[in-house]
Homo-oligomer: A and B are copies of this chain.
Amino acid sequence: MSKQTYTVAVVGATGAVGTQMIAFLEKRDFPVGELRPLASKRSAGQTITFRGQEIAIQEATPEAFEGVDIALFSAGGGISERLAPEAVKRGAVVIDNTSAFRMASDVPLVVPEVNRHALQKHNGLIANPNCSTIQMVVALKPLYDRYGMDRVIVSTYQSVSGAGWEAIEELQQQSKSVLSGEVMECNALPQGSLHYPIAFNVIPQIDVGLDNGFTNEEMKMVNETKKIFADDRIGVTATCVRVPVFRGHSESVYVELQQDFDLTEVRELLANADGIVVQDNLSEKEYPMPLQSAEDTRTFVGRIRRDLTHERGLNMWIVSDNLLKGAATNAIQIAEALVEDGLVRRG
């Protein structure tokens, strides 16, 4: 019996996340029959390598989705808004890494370790959550299930790769400039029309500012967490900060649980959970750091300790590779779950 294979499109095939998606489809041996890398007109004609073969990038047009079973989108919200419905119309299941459809009530927002069951109700479109949300909910899930969760206060330390190639190159260029005494050029961060240096600096703004004093990135963490847990009573407050790190987001998280907890049990729950590695031995200087967790698909948790100000408060430090579990890995895991659960719509 020949194995069932799928035609998979990757939209944004040349981007920081798109290249990881393609690498991952190969690495995890996803049953790709045909890979169709799509990008802007500018990149069309370039090639990418998949399973040792050069494949030409095609322009992402509505027609490019003819015959596609699974379409992975990571080319910005505007592209998703325009082309995801076209892909769905042509019979593809879309897994969208942008924020375009995340909060739409008929679109499941899925982290497989947390709410795989939500895939059952998909209508052709599934959203991949924001990178900073994914790693946090992976770590919160075992605690939520065991103790219940009242609220979360999180401060992030987010790498520049979350903002794409331009920001990665800018951190490199600016660092070189500082070290050689030259003036830094600022063109990438934060998004919008006014930019600041990120080299040897931190910027307390990711995505645009909103009227309530929070940024859009912060409100993504708030709203997506509630949606993924399907629990509006969870309180979430976030402060999202860009730091001069190339890859890997870190998060300082305070959680107020609903029941008393035991620290040893907390560590066990986390260590036994899917996709989590506990690195937690302060006296041996063992804790997660972005440089160590880069290029790993798992979520690392450490600095686990009882809060000093609330009897049901817990502090921890969560690190994961934002391009992998925060984006590409989670998207491919969704695709794998769809295949396993027979949820790919075959045209």
* Residue positions of A touching B, CB distance < 8 A: 151-153, 155, 157, 171-172, 175-176, 179, 190, 192, 194, 196-197, 200-205, 209-210, 212-215, 222, 235-237, 239, 241, 243-246, 250, 252, 254, 263, 282-283, 285, 287-291, 302-310, 313, 315, 317
Q: Are A252 and B239 in contact (CB-based, < 8 A)?
A: yes
Given A291-B197, A303-B239: A151 touches B309 (CB 8 Å cut-off) = yes
Interface pairs (7), CB distance under 8 Å: A172-B179, A196-B285, A201-B290, A201-B291, A213-B306, A236-B309, A237-B313
Q: How many copies does the complex hold?
A: 2
A307: B residues at CB distance < 8 A? 153, 237
A302: B residues at CB distance < 8 A? 204
Bound together, the chains give a CA A194 to CA B197 distance in angstroms of 31
A194: B residues at CB distance < 8 A? 285
Bound together, the chains give a CA A255 to CA B57 distance in angstroms of 51
Bound together, the chains give a CA A47 to CA B176 distance in angstroms of 33
Q: Are A203 and B237 in contact (CB-based, < 8 A)?
A: no
How near does chain B come to A184, taking the closest CB pair, in angstroms? 9
A306: B residues at CB distance < 8 A? 212-213
Q: Which of B179, B202, B235, B291 contacts A175 (CB 8 A)?
A: B179
A309: B residues at CB distance < 8 A? 151-153, 235-237
How near does chain B come to A48, taking the closest CB pair, in angstroms? 24
Select the residue from A153, A190, A244 with max chain B CB neighbours within 10 A: A153
How near does chain B come to A197, taking the closest CB pair, in angstroms? 6
Q: Are B241 and A244 in contact (CB-based, < 8 A)?
A: no
Q: Are B200 and A252 in contact (CB-based, < 8 A)?
A: no
Bound together, the chains give a CA A214 to CA B202 distance in angstroms of 24
Bound together, the chains give a CA A179 to CA B289 distance in angstroms of 19
**Given pairs A201-B291, A254-B254, 10 additional interface contacts (CB within 8 A):** A197-B291, A200-B246, A201-B289, A201-B290, A212-B306, A213-B303, A239-B303, A239-B315, A241-B250, A243-B243
